[in-house]
């Protein structure tokens, strides 16, 4: 573990390590502990009682947060003809077919999210080794392989986020910016928490939500009471 600076240690001392804060208390504290000169991201890490080595316990999907994430998202769309125009009208930043495939193969990845129409996946599939490790590969389960490209462009621009349990069963998801009102962060957290409960694998046994930690980009983690399942703004 890298050695932490004096400022970080000072902020860490303000966190009661024996306490599990309510969502509102914890998110407000994470905001208060932000000392960076930029608008830090508030992220939540939720550890689930799943074994991701088992195919039926993989937890992955996406959700549109009520208040977005505060991040400007550049969206690429692999499409042709009318669907390419639809993507342009919806505000997509990069649009193309063979030309876009060639750009990606050349290492030009000037986008944060990618969408493809189903008929383009034969070509986009060849980019798996490039897009996959970066989390940019269009996926029908995430809604990013679709004929309704306009809707998905708008949702990604508005703050649609992906959640995915890693090999330790932890989902790391941005909830917004330090500049967000705590009420907005709470509502985003509540939407994500409810979504994770909705997609709980039927084969998952025992306690499902094991722990929840929130933090700003440069700040210490704050543990939340993972048993709070409603009224997240209280």
Whole-number pLDDT of residue 159 = 85
Asked if residues 170 and 23 have their Cβ atoms less than 8 Å apart, the reply is no
Whole-number pLDDT of residue 33 = 92
- Count CA within 13 A, CB hemisphere, residue 162: 20
d(CA 114, CA 112): 7
Whole-number pLDDT of residue 114 = 96
Whole-number pLDDT of residue 1 = 44
Sheet holding 113-116, edge to edge: 94-96, 75-78, 113-116
Domains and CATH numbers, the chain: 10-69+160-224 (3.30.190.20), 75-158 (3.40.50.790)
SS3 content of the chain, % helix, strand, coil (to 5): 35, 20, 40
Which tokens in the block code for residue 208?
């499902």
Asked if residues 135 and 96 have their Cβ atoms less than 8 Å apart, the reply is no
Asked if residues 44 and 192 have their Cβ atoms less than 8 Å apart, the reply is yes
Count, in order, helices (H) and strands (E) of the chain.
8, 9
Asked if residues 126 and 29 have their Cβ atoms less than 8 Å apart, the reply is no
Given the DSSP bridges, would you call strands 170-177 and 41-48 parallel, antiparallel or unpaired? antiparallel
* E strand or H helix at 11: helix 6-12
Whole-number pLDDT of residue 231 = 77
Q: Give average pLDDT by consecutive 10-residue segment, the chain, 234 residues.
A: 70 88 96 91 96 93 92 95 97 96 94 96 95 93 94 92 93 96 96 95 93 94 91 78
Which tokens in the block code for residue 23?
């969502």
Burial of 176 (0-12, 13-18, 19+ CB in 10 A): buried
Which tokens in the block code for residue 113?
């999210």
Whole-number pLDDT of residue 2 = 52
């Amino acid at each position: 573990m890298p050695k932490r600076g004096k400022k970080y240690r000072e902020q860490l001392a303000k966190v009661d390590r024996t306490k599990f804060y309510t969502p509102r208390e914890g998110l407000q504290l994470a905001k208060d502990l932000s000392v960076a000169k930029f608008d830090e991201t508030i992220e939540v890490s939720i550890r689930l009682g799943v074994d991701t080595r088992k195919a039926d316990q993989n937890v992955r999907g996406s959700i549109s947060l009520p208040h977005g994430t505060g991040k400007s998202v550049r969206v690429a769309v692999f499409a042709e003809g009318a669907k390419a125009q639809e993507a342009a009208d919806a505000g997509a930043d990069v649009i193309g077919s063979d030309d876009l495939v060639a750009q990606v193969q050349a290492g030009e990845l000037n986008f944060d999210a990618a969408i493809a129409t189903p008929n383009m996946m034969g070509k986009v599939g060849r980019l798996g080794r490039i897009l996959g490790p970066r989390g940019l590969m269009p996926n029908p389960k995430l809604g990013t392989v679709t004929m309704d490209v306009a809707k998905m462009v708008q949702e990604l621009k508005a703050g649609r986020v992906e959640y995915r349990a890693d090999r330790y069963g932890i989902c790391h998801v941005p909830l917004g910016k330090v500049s967000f009102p705590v009420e907005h962060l709470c509502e985003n957290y509540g939407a994500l928490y409810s979504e994770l409960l909705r997609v709980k694998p039927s084969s998952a046994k025992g306690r499902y939500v094991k722990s929840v930690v929130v933090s700003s980009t440069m700040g210490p983690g704050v543990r939340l009471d993972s048993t709070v399942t409603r009224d997240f703004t209280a």
